[in-house]
Structure 1
């Protein structure tokens, strides 16, 4: 193990293709296999098309924000955390780092729940992925991945590139088979989704949090930027990965509406893509999707575990996390950050035993935790464009101003759309996580809180207390 005071190991450098694979690999995971049922519960074809248009435009703006920030501030690594700190101070940056890290760890739990739920079709003891046996088997997998990743970043990213290609194949095959089996009359019958909500606006609003979850990972290349061979590869990988995945996600959603009536899709067990393809081509379709899901989810889990550990590691290097998280081994693996990430995922995995719907809650909670870091990153880009910082020598900034404003407005809208319950519960994590911030400050003999930071901390504790009371009183349920 390398002490933080010794010369750091040289970071493993990866290519543009590998960075793009990181983006695609982290975005294509559990979410895409749940899209048919999740969308059918909220809206019909028309609402889905509008939702993907809105989400695609909004997330494209966010992707462009990460692209431009990678060029404007090449000195900042682990983008999501670093941008919040640079723009709004150390405690806000810490909030962004732990929020993003927690979202990655909670998101990893959805992967194991979905794998076990898929296997539950053959082994009833796995149930919906939240039984004692399912949690035990998932825990074994959790720690096996820990042992593999600690062997080195270069090896893990190489595995991820292969897995990314492998997991896209069954998804593309699903779209092609569903197109072949598509019934125009069924598609027309699912056009409006009138049974779900009175207005089209409410239908679209209900799907947007789902799109946030499946788009998580668009910032993957930015988070992993310290390993890029060339800085411009970060932005290029972000845009290439985003556009590829948007086309896949929208296709999976729309073709599903041509296979089964809306009400039947909405009642499918997750992964709903399996039930949809089974209805189209027979039982082998479900088996085919199940196999593809396991490959896809394990690949996404690998990518997200790497990113979660990377955020903690870089934050510690930047003196915003305790020193023990800044240690890496001789293979450039941030072992302590990786260990803490695995422990948090293990804790959340155990909590699924006590939740009413483990998969849906973990999915929505992941999206809610990520919205705050996304908002700070977009707001920082807007701050740069408005103030003109980094735009010296007459560099044009009008386009950047429009992009940053659109991305900020979209993330604010998503925070509102998420609803107060999810945002409230997220502070149950933020408040105790501040211990890491306090330890970091004390290690460096610095004042723990400046006045503004103390006010923010007090507000965080107050909101967390309200969330705990709401959970105990049953006003908010897991």
Structure 2
């Protein structure tokens, strides 16, 4: 009988998803949405994001059920459906995205602590980097003690960080004013009755906000190989996504009923603190800043688990070097954890020299998540077609998710495609090394075409580097 003592249960899987998705971003989400959209367009934006990302979540749930053999995270769908090279680029892009996110969590955590302890300033000074490094390695050794202990702590932190968010939701609903909410519902009008910014342009702006805040929805699938019950993976994905979507929509939409769009746009970060402060006074700012600290810690923990696991799974599928697959006595991929956290540590120390490089790295990490998500949607369509599945639902979720991901790529702009390639191409060195070591053919003919296209876009990106940085 399979030993499930150290496996992950349904509640812990949901905790990983919610902790990974609900990070520091939610505490400034109303400001980010107000920067690009009015109250009416914000509602439309969440409906579109809910349908699009919801379809992606159902794709993950369906693929988990139909292809239980693919338990190596979302990149295994790219590898199975579109070849080794696309599978590698998906896992490389995902891994890089999560690592850079962890660097952000380290600096953001001490930026939030700076509200109570000014010595930490903006989270990028020497005391902050020392503090972030200490927490990084404390977290490291905690994870090495076992996945069950790490996920238990993550779940506890997830519950704790939902408390201030719940307080905000109650207060913002109670303080909702319909007249404030309906003012300039579709955006500011010119004297001739036309909108200053079209609804389409406002919607394109919301895409860049909504997609990034849903990163982590795939968390349960990444750990599908370590779940107590395979069916829990699909349940956790849907329940986690639905919970977060409702929370996000309420937090942003109801904020427009407390402050106008112009007021929300002008708020400092974290914007939620100032919205709550306007309703209940100074305690509101204190509650939210404590929430930011707890939330960042939880997201940092969840994303560290995701990063080490996806690198381990890539090693088992011979996309990353074999050293990533070594496990300790607690069944934790020790080398994967060490390498992941060493990279995070290096990037944290780089702030002692300059923080300008991180601006570029952040944009690169954000853009790379689109490739594995798009591959999931397209693989859902391919699998449904190849198995002659007659169920309309499976066709619909695949087609809608695919259309949504292409809409995101269009709304993001062509420069994000270039940024993605600039993040992906350096990883090809590892891919070529692994293929040669295993004595395998490096590229198939169609993969050679993709590789050459990547090189061309990479060169174009280098030439236009200054423009890309200013995006």
TM > 0.5 fold call? yes
* CA shift for structure 1 position 355: 5.0
* CA shift for structure 1 position 123: 4.1
The count of residues paired between Structure 1 and Structure 2 equals 463
Cα contact 2:39–2:261 (8 A) shared by 1: no
Give, in whole Å, the separation in 1 of the partners of 2:412 and 2:58: 23
* CA shift for structure 1 position 351: 5.7
Residue 469 of structure 2 is aligned to residue 476 of structure 1 = yes
The equivalent residue for 1:397 is 391
* CA shift for structure 1 position 474: 4.5
The equivalent residue for 2:188 is 194
The equivalent residue for 2:37 is 43
Cα contact 1:181–1:281 (8 A) shared by 2: no
* CA shift for structure 1 position 149: 1.4
* CA shift for structure 1 position 21: 1.6
Give, in whole Å, the separation in 2 of the partners of 1:60 and 1:89: 26
The equivalent residue for 1:456 is 450
TM-score by length of 1: 0.91
Cα contact 1:325–1:334 (8 A) shared by 2: yes
Q: Tell me: CA distance 1:437–1:228, structure 2 relative to 1, closer, same or farther (3 Å).
A: same
Give, in whole Å, the separation in 1 of the partners of 2:34 and 2:221: 33
The equivalent residue for 1:274 is 273
Q: Tell me: CA distance 1:203–1:349, structure 2 relative to 1, closer, same or farther (3 Å).
A: farther
Q: What is the CA deviation profile of residues 210-265 of structure 1, one whole-angstrom value per residue up to 9, with x for unaligned ones?
A: 11111111111111100112211111111111111111010100121122232222
The equivalent residue for 2:15 is 21
What are the equivalent positions in structure 2 for 1:55-204 lying under 5 Å apart? Answer: 55-189=49-183, 191-194=185-188, 198-204=197-203
The equivalent residue for 2:294 is 295
Q: Tell me: CA distance 1:467–1:209, structure 2 relative to 1, closer, same or farther (3 Å).
A: same
* CA shift for structure 1 position 288: 0.5
Give, in whole Å, the separation in 2 of the partners of 1:98 and 1:229: 27
**408-417 or 188-197, which moves further after superposition?**
188-197
**120-129 or 461-470, which moves further after superposition?**
120-129
Give, in whole Å, the separation in 2 of the partners of 1:349 and 1:197: 41
Stretches of structure 2 that go unaligned for 5 or more consecutive residues are: 190-194
Give, in whole Å, the separation in 1 of the partners of 2:249 and 2:50: 9
* Secondary structure at the counterpart of residue 17 of structure 1: helix
Cα contact 2:99–2:307 (8 A) shared by 1: yes
**290-299 or 126-135, which moves further after superposition?**
126-135
Give, in whole Å, the separation in 1 of the partners of 2:239 and 2:6: 22
Give, in whole Å, the separation in 1 of the partners of 2:135 and 2:25: 20
Q: What is the CA deviation profile of residues 28-81 of structure 1, one whole-angstrom value per residue up to 9, with x for unaligned ones?
A: 112211201101111111011000000001011000000000011000113311
TM-score by length of 2: 0.92
Cα contact 2:15–2:154 (8 A) shared by 1: yes
Q: What is the CA deviation profile of residues 400-428 of structure 1, one whole-angstrom value per residue up to 9, with x for unaligned ones?
A: 11110111111111122122233322322
Cα contact 1:39–1:207 (8 A) shared by 2: yes
The equivalent residue for 1:262 is 261
The equivalent residue for 1:283 is 282
Stretches of structure 1 that go unaligned for 5 or more consecutive residues are: 1-8
Residue 402 of structure 2 is aligned to residue 413 of structure 1 = no
Give, in whole Å, the separation in 1 of the partners of 2:287 and 2:312: 38
Q: Tell me: CA distance 1:351–1:462, structure 2 relative to 1, closer, same or farther (3 Å).
A: farther
RMSD: 2.3
Q: What is the CA deviation profile of residues 375-394 of structure 1, one whole-angstrom value per residue up to 9, with x for unaligned ones?
A: 01110110011222xx6xxx
Q: What is the CA deviation profile of residues 308-354 of structure 1, one whole-angstrom value per residue up to 9, with x for unaligned ones?
A: 11111011011111011111111111121122222333344456674
* CA shift for structure 1 position 143: 2.7
Cα contact 1:45–1:254 (8 A) shared by 2: yes
Give, in whole Å, the separation in 2 of the partners of 1:437 and 1:285: 50
